[in-house]
Amino acid sequence: MKKDLLSLLDLEKTDFEQLFDRALQLKARYAKGIPDRILSGKTLGLIFDKKSTRTRIAFETAMIQLGGHPIYMSTQDTQISRNEPAADTARVLSRYIDCLAMRTFDHALVKEFAAASTIPVINALTDSFHPCQILSDIMTIIEHKGGYHKKKIAWVGDGNNVANSWVNAASVLGLNLVLACPENHMIKPEIIEAAGADAMDHVRFTTDPRDAVKNADVVYTDVWASMGEEDELEKRLAAFEGFQVNKALLSHAAPDVLVMHCLPAHRGEEIAEDVLEAPGAAFWDQAENKRHMHKAILETLILRNKTDE
């Protein structure tokens, strides 16, 4: 049976650990100049409705470096733009390609594609979740902190798709996660309900950023207005006052705190310039690790699907 990656709740803890191990192995092999061509002859389709730098290039270079071939498709260049049913497009693409990564607005569209496809479908970002981002971010935490067990992770900012995926990861991995969001920008109740009651033993919500980052090993933030919310920016700038990740806020965290941001960053809004440009900052490792994690995801899903055929 084919496996999709639509949210991190699709994975078991062993799936996470296998992906971390494999991504780190692939990164080490790449650094040594050892080629991996395990997906030679395979094709990845990318349907992107939203703009992307890191996710798109990471998927494309990952597929190329594994010996495969990526095909980038904007929905405006396909019959989807002329109202072809998503299920019809999914069935046809399943006859052409070996895996599909989608980046779009409505999470229901990705689910519709996955339901009609015979190939693995990967959520490369929706308004609800960004699972691949968090997988590579935890990989970065493992590199910088030696692991994620017993580390306090603080989210400061909007209760958006990235934050939702952190809650999902915490649910499966038992992460010590605290999310500080303004009152009207908190994680939605259905996300918390889906995470399960057990997750709430180690996931906490607050409206106080200083409370969230107190003694935190990792502090994570993201833009205050995500793609599609730009017209709300002025209201959001007011709502998120006091939520900027800066040196004053980080003084409450652990001395060796790891600051993370999925990028692009808005300097002077959610993160201070001097924090983003601090020597040894992890942001660029985060971006690089997306490629290696995407390799691990593609290899796992495509080879598993071919084995099951």
CATH number of 8-130+288-305: 3.40.50.1370
pLDDT at residue 196 in the model: 86
23, two tokens: 């991504």
Name 197's Cβ contacts closer than 8 Å, sequence gap at least 6: none
pLDDT at residue 289 in the model: 98
Residue 130 annotated as part of some ligand binding site: yes
Task: Return phi, psi of residue 262, to 5°.
Answer: -80, -10
**133-287: what CATH class?**
alpha beta
pLDDT at residue 224 in the model: 94
Note the pTM of the prediction, 2 decimals. Answer: 0.96
pLDDT at residue 36 in the model: 96
pLDDT tens readout for residues 182-237: 999 999 999 999 988 777 789 999 999 999 999 999 999 999 988 777 788 889 99
Residue 262 annotated as part of some ligand binding site: yes
Residue 103 annotated as part of some ligand binding site: yes
pLDDT at residue 231 in the model: 84
Please tell me whether residue 243 adopts helix, strand or coil conformation: coil
For the chain, which residues score pLDDT lower than 50?
none
264, two tokens: 């692009």
Helices and strands, counts by H and E, the chain = 12, 9
Residue 136 annotated as part of some ligand binding site: no
Q: How large is the angle between the packed helices 86-96 and 107-116, nearest 10 degrees? A: 50
Strands 176-180 and 203-206 come out as parallel
| Domains of the chain, residue spans | 8-130+288-305, 133-287
Residue 176 annotated as part of some ligand binding site: no
Residue 61 annotated as part of some ligand binding site: no
Q: Where are the alpha helices (DSSP H) in 152-217?
A: 161-173, 189-195, 209-213
Residue 74 annotated as part of some ligand binding site: no
The CA–CA distances, whole Å, from 38 to 41, 67, 114, 204, 300 equal 9, 7, 24, 41, 11
Residue 81 annotated as part of some ligand binding site: no
Residue 18 annotated as part of some ligand binding site: no
Are 8-130+288-305 and 133-287 equal in CATH topology?
yes
Residue 202 annotated as part of some ligand binding site: no
* Max Cα distance, the chain (Å): 56
Residue 53 annotated as part of some ligand binding site: yes
pLDDT at residue 195 in the model: 87
Residue 215 annotated as part of some ligand binding site: no
Residue 95 annotated as part of some ligand binding site: no
Residue 286 annotated as part of some ligand binding site: no
299, two tokens: 């290899």
Residue 79 annotated as part of some ligand binding site: yes
